[in-house]
Structure formats: structure tokens, C-alpha cells
Amino acid sequence: MNELMAVWADWAAWLKPSAGLPTLQWSLLLAVAAIAGHVVQRYTGLPKVLGYSVVGTLAGLAGFSGAIWPLQGIGLFLVELGIAVVLFEAGSRIPLRWFRHNPMVLVQSLTESAVTFIAVYQAMRWLGVDHNVAGPLALVAMAASPAVLTRVVMDTRAAGPVTERAVVLSTLSTLYALTLCNAKAGLMDRPHTGLTDTLYPVIVVLGISLIVGALLALMLRTAMRVMSATSENTAMLLLALIAAATALAAHFGGSAPLAALIGGMLLKQLNPKPWAWPRQLGTASSILIMLMFVLVSTVAAQADWSRPVAGLVLALVLVRALAKVFGVALANPGSGARFTQALWVGCAMSPMSSVALLLVSQFASASQTLGPRIARIGLPAILLMEVAGAVMATIVLYRAGESSKPWAPLATALSGSSPPPAGADTAGGREA
């Protein structure tokens, strides 16, 4: 990379390029990621996310210099914007009335998140990790990845109670993690003595995010009174307003992804009838989300992959996965789902990705002493569960019988039958 930069500098003296070498690198990297995602889905039946993550991982291990850690500048904004788009869409599909008619779903969500936090924190402390590091890691572990899960759902064409419950619980766990981690980052390296000092940052983050999210929902609700929900202009307006809300919330001390999530939930409350996600926005958001996945894996692959950290990472991943399954199953009675469905839901919530990376980056920026220690364990865990979590979620949705298209590798392994003919549609998918 350094040699390429030197050559580029020599050429730039007389070529007068319109963009620098990082722009060229990212363009080519995204092109390779798009090809890899297509190949992975076509020939293995696994989601495109896996191809994006593999390309980003290889680029990070090769020393790709296009990502700065901790996240800052345009890289931070793109990650926040990508997460905001995903969470806005996820929030806009959650009717708040559902929790009034079935409050056990909310109880199940709170139980799962609490069990995950306690289990990961205790496991890290038992392995000798300082409590100032174990606490933030446990908060990050609470967050599942709606981004990975929704991509898997899209590529497998899954629909059903397990799919819907997994997406809802993943979205809610992300809401808790964003609120608590943003507040915790503001308290790092600062002495605090009472409960008020702890609750005040939580109230500030949640309050500012709520205000920005409410403004976003109101503006979109007003626009949708006079504009078609499926028009190209509506898609551009929606993306522009989410981008503005992302910048606004971050500037005033709130959480941009949290504001987008709240905005989506409030819009669903104001406009309860089903509405179609604009196709044009789906195409734009797919490019943005692909960039987000590549950036996440590129940054995470550049972590310190030392042997002493490997045991802590594996312990965190294993305890987190078991805790999510146990937490969902523990509060399942009365939630309207069968016990086996609860187990599938807990397994489907295993992925970690962009939200976790954003939270770890906030801790790294907030503390020069604790931040690197948190990232040393958190980044490898994020990369591992972005890849393994996508595979696990795919298997779960197929085994739960909620995919509308067959998956040849799983069908062959379970039945021992020969794979379908080459002309069969075994790798098709619906674009965002």
C-alpha cells in the first residue's frame, strides 16, 4: 500500500486526478465484494453478507489503509448512516400496539438482554478481565445485528414467527445497547459518585435521540400525505432526511442509529397501515449496506490477533450465544411462541456486526486507556460473529422451515439425496 501511494503521488503531479488513491481502492474493493457476494450466494446458498465480510477481512489482513480506527470523519458517518437506514426500516415494521396486546414479547426482550449482559460480564471477570473492560464488553454483547439478520432474511426469502420474532428482539436489543453504551462512553475516565451521575447520560442520550427521531417521523408522515410511498422522490427524501437526522443527533450528543430506530417506530405508530419500502431506496441502501459490511470486516480484521486474546474472544462468543438462547427460552411462556421456536429465535440472534463495531469505536474514542483493551477483545469477536453468525442464522431459518426457497446444501446433508440439476433455481434471491 505504501509503494502504491508513492507511485500515485508521482503520477498525481501531472495527471491531475479528480480523486485520490483511497477512492480508487474503495471502488475496486466494493466491486470485488459485489462479485464475491454473488458467487457465495449462487454456489453455496449462503447470504451475500458472507462474501462481503470475507473480502473485507482479506483486505484488512493485507493491510488496507482505507479505514481509520477509531472510526472518524466520513468513515464514521457512513457506518452510522448505514446502521440508521437498517434500523429505521426495522423500526418501521414494529407496531407498538403489539406490545400492548402481547407484553411478554417485551419481557422476553428485556430478559434476553439482561441475561446476556450478566453472563458475559461474569465470564469475563472469571477469566481475569478488569471490570472496567468487562462491563463495556457485556453491553456491546447485548446487541444483536438487525443488519445481518435482515440481509439473511432477504436472501433466504424467509417469513414466519421465528423470523419476525428474531428481527424484533434483535432490534430491541440494539435499542438497549445503543442507549447504555452511549451513556457509558460518556462516563469513561470520569469519576462519578451517585446514581444520578449514572442515569443522567442515559436520559440525555435517550431524550435527544427521541426528539430527533420524532422530528424525522413527523416530517416523513407529513410528506407521505402528499407523496406516493413508492415513488422515486419519496425514496430520495427518505434517505436525505435519515442522513440529516444522523448528522443532527450525533452533533447534539444523541445516538444517530437510535434516533433512526425511534423515528421508524414512531412512523409506524403514526401510519399503522402497511407501506412498501421504496424500491429505489432499496437499491441505494443495498450499496450503502454493502459498504458498511466491508468496512466493518476490514477494520475488525486489523485487530490484535494474539494467542492470549483468542481464549477470551472464544469465551465471549460462546457465552453470548448460550445466554441469548437461554434468555429467550426463559421468558418464552406466555409470549405466543412454542419452545422450539424460542430456541430457533435465540440462535438466529447470534450475529454481531456494524452496531457492535460502532459501540466499540465509541469506547475507543472515549478512553485512551480502556478503549484499546476493549477493542482488543471486541473487534475479533465482532468479525467472528459477523461471518459465523450469518451462517448460523441461515441454517436456523431453513431448519425452522420459514424459507420460501430450497437450500441445496442443507437438503442434501439432511436427506442424503443428490443435488438438484444445474438449471434449478437454488441460488436466486430478492434484491433489497
| pLDDT computed for residue 10 by the predictor | 55
Measuring CA to CA, how many Å separate 419 from each of 127, 347, 407, 412, 428?
46, 27, 10, 6, 16
For residue 94, how many other CB atoms are within 10 A of its CB?
20
Q: Euclidean distance between the first and final Cα of the chain, in Å?
A: 34
Which residues, including other chains, have CB under 8 Å from residue 74's CB and lie 6 or more apart? none
Give alpha helix (H) positions in 62-194: 73-91, 97-101, 103-126, 131-142, 146-156, 161-187
260 neighbors 85 (Cβ within 8 angstroms): yes
| pLDDT computed for residue 32 by the predictor | 95
What letter represents residue 258's amino acid?
L
**What is the distance between the alpha carbons of residues 265 and 220, in angstroms, rounded to a whole number?**
12
| pLDDT computed for residue 275 by the predictor | 63
pLDDT in tens, the chain (432 residues): 556 556 555 555 555 555 566 777 888 999 999 999 999 998 888 999 999 999 999 998 888 866 788 898 888 898 999 999 999 989 988 888 888 888 999 999 999 999 999 999 999 999 999 999 999 999 999 999 999 999 999 989 899 999 999 999 999 999 999 999 998 998 887 766 566 777 888 899 999 999 999 999 999 889 888 887 777 788 888 889 999 999 999 888 889 999 999 999 999 888 877 666 656 566 677 888 898 999 999 999 888 778 889 999 999 999 999 999 999 999 999 988 999 999 999 999 999 999 999 999 999 999 999 999 999 999 999 999 999 999 999 999 999 999 887 775 555 555 554 444 433 433 333 333
| pLDDT computed for residue 20 by the predictor | 64
All three cell numbers of 426: 437454488
**What is the distance between the alpha carbons of residues 234 and 291, in angstroms, rounded to a whole number?**
23
**What is the distance between the alpha carbons of residues 172 and 342, in angstroms, rounded to a whole number?**
16
All three cell numbers of 46: 449462503
245 neighbors 235 (Cβ within 8 angstroms): no
Question: Among residues 239, 310, 244, which one has the least CA distance to residue 277?
Answer: 239
Task: Say if residue 204 is exposed, middle or buried (CB neighbours under 10 Å; 0-12, 13-18, 19+).
Answer: middle
Q: What's the CA angle centered on 31, arms 56 and 70, to 5 degrees?
A: 35
Q: What is the DSSP letter of 403?
A: B
Helix/strand/coil (H/E/C) assignment for every residue in 241-270: HHHHHHHHHHHCCCCHHHHHHHHHHHHHHH
Question: Among residues 120, 191, 179, 194, which one has the least CA distance to residue 374?
Answer: 120
| pLDDT computed for residue 281 by the predictor | 65
Domains recognised in the chain with CATH numbers: 41-404 (1.20.1530.20)
SS3 158: strand
Can you give the C-alpha Rg of the chain in angstroms?
A: 21
All three cell numbers of 177: 445497547
Full DSSP string of 167-209? HHHHHHHHHHHHHHHHHHHHHTT----SHHHHHHHHHHHHHHH
| pLDDT computed for residue 57 by the predictor | 93
Question: Among residues 291, 294, 301, 261, which one has the least CA distance to residue 78?
Answer: 291
| pLDDT computed for residue 260 by the predictor | 94
285 neighbors 432 (Cβ within 8 angstroms): yes
**What is the distance between the alpha carbons of residues 239 and 237, in angstroms, rounded to a whole number?**
6
**What is the distance between the alpha carbons of residues 375 and 418, in angstroms, rounded to a whole number?**
45
Q: What is the total residue count of the chain?
A: 432
